[in-house]
C-alpha cells in the first residue's frame, strides 16, 4: 500500500500495522505520537491499527529546546 509518512510517499505491505511501519522505518525509539489523517492514534493501539492505502501519517517526536 502507498502511504504518505511525514510528507514522503512510501510503500508498505498491505497488512502492515502502524507499529510495523514505525519499526520498519527504524524510528521506534524516537516516535512519541502518531496521527493518521490528522487523528491521533494512541500508542497502545499502534500494534492493531492498520492504515488504508493513501493515508497520511505524521510521526511526531518531542524535541527540547530553549
Grid coordinates in use for 51?
492504515
| pLDDT band per the 50, 70, 90 thresholds, residue 62 | confident
Q: pLDDT (tens digit, 9 = 90+) per residue, 22-61?
A: 999 999 888 999 999 999 999 999 999 999 999 999 999 8
Task: Provide the edge-to-edge strand list for the sheet that holds 56-60.
Answer: 8-11, 2-5, 56-60, 33-36, 39-41
Which pTM was predicted?
Answer: 0.88
How much is the pLDDT for 66? Answer: 62
Question: Phi, psi at residue 2, to the nearest 5°?
Answer: -100, 130
How much is the pLDDT for 61? Answer: 84
Give the CA dihedral 25, 4, 44, 63, nearest 10 degrees. Answer: 70
Q: Which domains does the chain have, with CATH numbers?
A: 2-60 (3.10.20.30)
Amino acid at each position: 500500500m502507498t502511504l504518505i509518512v511525514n510528507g514522503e510517499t512510501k510503500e508498505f505491505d498491505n497488512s502492515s500495522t502502524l507499529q510495523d511501519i514505525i519499526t520498519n522505518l527504524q524510528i521506534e525509539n524516537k516516535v512519541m505520537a502518531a496521527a493518521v489523517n490528522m487523528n491521533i492514534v494512541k500508542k497502545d493501539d499502534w500494534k492493531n491499527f492498520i492504515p488504508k492505502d493513501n493515508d497520511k501519517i505524521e510521526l511526531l517526536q518531542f524535541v527540547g529546546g530553549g
